[in-house]
Structure 1
Amino acid sequence: MGDDSAVVEEGARKSGVLWLTLDRPRLAWHVWHDGAIYLVAGGGEQELPGLDALDRVRVTLRSKDNGARLVEFDAAVSRVDQAAEPGAVAALAKERLNAADSEHLTERWARDSLVVRLDPLP
């Protein structure tokens, strides 16, 4: 990704939302953790239809300040083994606002949701 990698990291750290190009552009909340973007889909969380079947997705980050498009890039999509990556799951749980079951959130995700890692591609 060259010079864009710093822009991607800064944009993903500063804004808690991004756009994924799926059946249509879909807004999703996420966290930046360990050099990648993590998000939760399904199971009562955000609906991101078709993401689980993709090996790459187009991501758009917008400026938190003015909403202008900051950067667009392709990212490799991989399913996260939630037990093997507790740090990523904890980072997501910390940023999940207004969850009705916050004390059992990670258990629900393990049972009902898909946690995804998006690695920006060069």
Structure 2
Amino acid sequence: MTAGVLDEAIKKAAIAWISVGDGPAYALWCMPAESSILVVSGPGEQFAPGLAEAERATVRLRGDHGGLILVVDATVSRLTPGSDEWNELAPPLATKRLNASGTADELAARWAETGCAIVRLTPAAGSAVGAPDLPAESAAQPPRETPARVETRRPFRLHRVRKR
């Protein structure tokens, strides 16, 4: 796996599938920052269990056509609210956040107040697995149970449809 493919995949990343330990991978929106990606999670934001406390995570990135092109182990570092790194990276990340109310600075301040975590995922050297070495089988998983699922009724039909 060349470093160029890794850098290109990170630059184009808008969503990444991130898993912590043996847990399931969650699709999380992200923002590239130099040779790493930034992810925000917490109250009122995306659900990423264990990511803020983790030291390592597995990141799966997609290519231009939506298929998996890269799997990489990454080191996780949490940005501290009020630090220089937070002040530099939180506003651009807030600008990328779709459907957020308020300005980018207000959103970054809300993240700091509510305890949201901004983490930087930096690929570990030599851990990238690319196209020829990726598993051939599908990594698709059945849908997880959620309280948001609602059983739907069969659709109403005015006239009976005959089968031929």
TM-score (norm 1): 0.88
Matching residue of 1:88: 89
| Matched-pair identity in % | 34
Q: Who wins on radius of gyration, i.e. which is larger? A: 2
Higher helix proportion (structure 1 or 2): 1
Q: What's the Cα RMSD here?
A: 1.6
Q: Is the 8 A contact 2:16 2:29 kept in 1?
A: yes
The aligned amino acid for 1:107 is A
After TM superposition, what 4+ stretches of structure 1 lie above 3 angstroms from structure 2?
none
Matching residue of 2:14: 16
SS state of the match for residue 46, structure 2?
Answer: coil
Distance in 2 (CA, whole Å) between partners of 1:102 and 1:30 is 19
Superposed displacement of residue 94, structure 1: 1.7
The aligned amino acid for 1:61 is L
**Number of equivalences:** 119
Higher strand proportion (structure 1 or 2): 1
Query: What are structure 1's unaligned runs of at least 5 residues?
Result: none
Q: Which has the higher contact order (CA 8 A, sep 6+)?
A: 1
Superposed displacement of residue 39, structure 1: 0.9
Q: Is the 8 A contact 2:13 2:32 kept in 1?
A: no
Q: Is the 8 A contact 1:8 1:61 kept in 2?
A: no
